[in-house]
Structures are given as structure tokens and as C-alpha cells.
Amino acid sequence: GWGRRGIHVTMGGLADSFYEYLLKLYLLTGMKDRRVLGMYNRAVDSMIGNLVLRTPDDTTAYLAEFKDGELRREMEHLSCFVPGMLALGAKSFDTGKNKNYNPSKALTPEEAELSAKSESHMKLAGQLLLGCVSSYDAMITELGPERFAFDETAPISQRIKVKEGRYILRPETVESIFVLYRATGEQKYREMGWRIFEAIQHHCKTECCYTGVVDVQQLPAEPNNSMQSFFLAETLKYLYLLFSPEGDAAMDEYVWTTEAHPLPIFKFDEDFDENGLILDE
């Protein structure tokens, strides 16, 4: 059905939260509701098979879109939540990262499928995050554009073409940086986050608050005189947590909503049936 006119398939705006919540509902229920995990597995398989494009050296990846029957090499900043989502799912069956996983309990088919793909999903998370960060690095302001076109086969200096140059203090890239740092402990993710924070401080800080910029390709950066609420609720929160002790807001104690509200993971003694309903003892 993707080939029909009027069909728009994307991991970005108006679709992103749905895919994220398939995984997060499974985790929020203490890894009990496997119904939504099966939906997550199918969605990620389709994304990888149809939308993911990698560079020839296999270090970096981007997410394309299908629109009106054709594959478009364009990516929204909103899609940059995907690396964090993949990393969160990949670490679900890691006893060192998720105390809610019981390795002595047999995995269901849905859980076994995700567990078998954890390594490849983790690798892809890192590749996609590099793609997102490359859109920041390619700009003279070191702030990421709202939407960009890409050519994954081109040299890094020619790979990114801006489609929408505004920067409105979005959180998705730093959200994924935070999750990958917590998942791997690799210092390079803190370094990525710090570069973005410094760019925000340099171009977006005003006497009273922070502002987005009109065009990330221009210096001096022109302020748009607007501070979105998600800047405080998400962007700064994830940057703060990136440099906080790992015990603060531990990933196996809370599930973060798409608006960065931490919800304590439920503790169910009962199990769920195939419809997501709690089974009686």
C-alpha cells in the first residue's frame, strides 16, 4: 500500500510517538504486555527494511520517508528519537542494564525475537545517532536543522542539504544521546551532548531566556524570539541527566514519556494474556 499517492510513511512528525510507545508500554508494564512488543518488532523490521539507508563505510545511517509512491531521502529532526528507542529496546534483555529482566524465565516468541536482534539494533542506534549529529556538525552554527535532505553515498562535507533551516530547541537528538550513553557508558556520547549544549549557549541564550534561530546556516544566528516549552521539559532535562550519576532516574526504574515525564515502572505479579489483559491468579 506504500506505493499509492497520498500515502506518507515516516518515523517523524504525526507518527513518532506511536512507535515509541509500543516499546515503552511493554517496559512500563514490567515487561508483561508482550502484545505491544510484537507490534514493536514488526514496526522496527519494516522501518529497517524500507526506510534505513547506510553510508558505504557502514558507520552512519539515515531515515528516509515514503511519500506519494517514492522514497525520499529527507529526514526530520523529530525522527532523531529513533536511535534512543532502538537502544532502549536492545538493552531490555541485558541483566546489567535492566533489573526487570529475569533471565531464568523463558522468553516468549516476541521477546526471543527482540533479544536475538539486540546487537544489530544497538549497532543501528549508533549509526542513526551519527546521522542525526552529522546534521548539527554540518552547520556553521553547530545547531541541527528542522529538516534536511541527505545523500548517504556522498562525502561527509557534501552529504547534508538543508530543507528547513530553523532550529526550535528540539530535544530528540539529545534524548537519543542520553539513552545511548546510559546504555553503553561510552564517553563519546557525553562529548556529543556537550558540543550541542555549547552551541545552544552560544547562539540561543538571551538575557531572559533561550530562543530558537531562524536559519542554522547563517552567522550571526538570527533569533526567532520563541522558547518552546519542550526546551525546559525535555532538551535541558536530557542534557542535565546526560551528565548526572547513572542512578539518577535509572532507566530500569522509570519509563520516559514522549514529553520526558518519568513514569515509575509498574510491578505486576500477574501476567498478561494475548489481548494485553491481566490474567487472574
Closest by CA position to 278, among listed 29, 38, 109, 103? 29
**146 is known as an active-site residue:** yes
Q: How far apart are CA 223 and CA 217, in angstroms?
A: 13
| CA distances, 154 to each of 70, 142, 163, 211 (Å) | 20, 20, 17, 33
Which residues partner with 264 through β-bridges?
Answer: 254
Q: How far apart are CA 155 and CA 145, in angstroms?
A: 19
Q: How far apart are CA 36 and CA 267, in angstroms?
A: 17
Among residues 74, 146, 172, 234, which one is catalytic?
Answer: 146
Give the number of other CB atoms < 10 A from CB of residue 245: 8
List residues with catalytic annotation: 146
